[in-house]
Amino acid sequence: MKKNNIFRNKSFRNKSLSRIFIVNYIYTIIIFIIALILFIFILIWGIISNMHLTKEEERLMEEEFFVQNYEDININGILEVGGWIETIENNKVISVIGEKKDNINDYNLLNVINFYEDQLKKEEKFFDLKVYKQDDKLYIVKIPNSEFFLTKQLKIKSLGKRVRETIKYSLVIAVVFMVLALWGGYYKYIKKIREPLNQINLGIEKMSKGNLSVRLDFEGYKEIDSIRDSFNYMVKEIKVANENKDKLEKSKRDMIRDIAHDIKTPITSIMGYSRALNDGTVQDSEEKRIYLDYIYNKTCRLNYLVNELFIFTKLDSIDYKLNIKQNDICEFLREVVALYYGEIEEAEFNLEIDIPEDPIYYEFDAKELERAICNLIINSLKYNERKTTLFIGINNNEEDIEIIIGDNGIGIKKEILDKVFEEFVRGDISRESSGGSGLGLAITKKIIELHKGTIILNSYEGGGSKFKIILKK
């Protein structure tokens, strides 16, 4: 599968999604704070910008309040913007409309000059004014100058509208900035997740169609890499399971074929001898006895085969449970050897035993473990010549117990060495001549595995065989 360069970015390797989420969370907060600062900055800038009158606004202001004739002045408007109207008679202020905000009560030239000099020293703002003559009296209209006027004017007439517009535009700009920043920041992370998910989906689709050779090949975040590894492992296991299923089906077919062969031969012989006896073809009593002995032996052979098959099938059942009890495995092994001592002597075997005197307690099924060890002893007695040395011993290790059944006999052929624990192994010429079922070592292996143990065979042709049963403590 061609590797996509996007998944080879070392900056993403070994990073977890949880870490990325935390980073993105912090990134989001930072972007939000920046957007908020941007919003506030634009808002303040907009408001400050609107606090100054344009030339046009100043002109309109003067046109509104500084009209030509006194009768046309907007008294209420003047008062609303913080202005006032003074009535002057003989250079004295005799009356005021509104709230007077200066200290000029005597309108001689010196007082006016001194007043404005004082204002300059205090860095205070001036007032704009216009003088009207009406009915032999002077009327002075005073309003705040441009900056003061605008502040008041905005507050009364247009500040709310301008602020709302400024807020709207500031908010739009801040939101657009935040969206673009977040999209740009998250795009690579989203793509980093989306691409492998697409590959996983494609892999699942291919697998569902029976393609068990599909493998995912990308590098991303640790969690997604874990899904990749799990997927590849699952597909591999399914493929192995299917292969094992095929092997099992083949094994079952071979087993049925071998069983049929092993059963058919004695049945055919029994039928032939039975027919001869039934038809009266055999008249001699001694010959009849020979025929009957042959029928009996073949029947025993059939019974042995059926019994071995029953045992193998029983052990292979998922419902079968061992009868586990704690016993001294040393004493147990000595008793098993004693059971076959007669056969060992009859075969003229030399027996070497290395079993500790001190007890070694272990939990096992005595009946089944005896069957497994007996199969190994019988196997050695059947297939080896006289004067062969049979070795039986126990090693008590720190982590396990080893039971060793070995001999210095003919050994096992190399071509079948890896298959001796399979049922009905082909290639063993001694099988048929010795009356073996081909299930003995397969049964032994099943029993050991049910005890959570393993069995190992070391053998070579002409160099003997050594079976090692390893039972974990």
* Whole-number Å distance between alpha carbons of 53 and 129: 17
* Tokens at 163, concatenated: 């602020």
Right CATH for 321-472 from 3.40.50.20, 3.40.50.720, 3.40.50.2300, 3.30.565.10: 3.30.565.10
Which segments of the chain belong to CATH 1.10.287.130? 222-313
| Residue from 131, 141, 156 nearest 81 by CA | 156
Q: What is the chain's pLDDT, residue by residue, as a tens digit (473 residues)? A: 444 443 344 444 456 656 666 776 677 788 778 878 877 777 777 666 655 555 555 555 556 677 888 888 888 888 887 789 999 888 888 999 998 888 888 877 666 556 656 655 554 456 778 888 887 788 888 887 655 454 455 444 555 566 667 677 777 877 887 777 767 666 666 767 777 778 888 888 887 887 878 888 777 667 777 788 888 888 888 888 888 787 777 766 776 777 777 777 778 888 888 888 888 777 788 888 888 888 888 888 788 778 877 888 888 788 888 999 999 999 999 999 998 888 999 999 999 999 999 999 999 999 999 999 999 998 899 889 999 999 999 999 999 999 999 999 999 888 888 888 877 664 444 344 445 567 888 889 999 999 999 999 999 888 899 999 999 98
What pTM did the predictor assign? 0.47
Which segments of the chain belong to CATH 3.30.565.10? 321-472
In this structure, what are the phi and psi dihedrals at residue 93, rounded to the nearest 5 degrees? Answer: -80, 115
So what's the architecture of 222-313 in CATH?
Answer: Orthogonal Bundle (1.10)
| Residue from 353, 444, 339, 346 nearest 391 by CA | 353
